Amino acid sequence: MGVVIIDGSTVRNFVNDESHFQKSVDETFAKLDLNNDGVLSRSELRRGFETLRLMEAHFGIDVVTPPEQLSQLYDAIFEKFDCDKSGTVDREEYRSEIKKILLAIADGLGSSPIQMALEDDSNSFLQKAADLEASKLQQPSSV
Ligand SMILES: [Ca+2]
């Protein structure tokens, strides 16, 4: 468990750092694509959401949510990701939807920093965002 302090700009900078963001998203996509067919199925995406911790951050879901309600929610999320209704989520769909979600989180956070307890998990986008900011802060800024 690590505690990170993030605000809207932390998340926004991460999303706007094109190459870094794409690399991070592609990494998680590859991990979620369990059968390596290049697309995410309904169950692969659900598993992903459970490990990416986006639910807690964005949807405010907690552990007491009844399973059937949770399933409906995951279905709704899948429909959102599957823009072309092909029944699977491809890399482009995944990337653009993650981007929207993270920007929505950024808007929600605004400019007041909050402390978030994240499990030490390289899959977490918010962790990645915090890491990126930390790595930038460590670089001495030249005048
Ligand atoms: Ca797959």
- Ligand 1 centroid – CA 115 distance (Å): 34
- Ligand 1 centroid – CA 14 distance (Å): 26
Cα Rg, the chain, nearest whole Å: 16
Tell me the β-bridge partners of 17.
none
The model's pTM is: 0.78
- Ligand 1 centroid – CA 88 distance (Å): 8
In 3-state terms the chain splits into helix, strand, coil percentages (rounded to 5) of 60, 10, 30
- Per-residue pLDDT tens digits for 69-102: 778 888 988 999 999 999 999 999 999 999 998 8
Residues of the chain above pLDDT 90, percent: 44
Q: Could you tell me the domains of the chain?
A: 2-138 (1.10.238.10)
- Per-residue pLDDT tens digits for 15-73: 999 999 999 999 989 999 999 999 999 999 988 877 765 555 555 555 566 778 778 88
CA distance 137 to 123: 22
- Ligand 1 centroid – CA 110 distance (Å): 35
- Ligand 1 centroid – CA 97 distance (Å): 17
Contact 28, 123 (CB under 8 A): yes
Per the listing, tokens 């769909």 go with 93
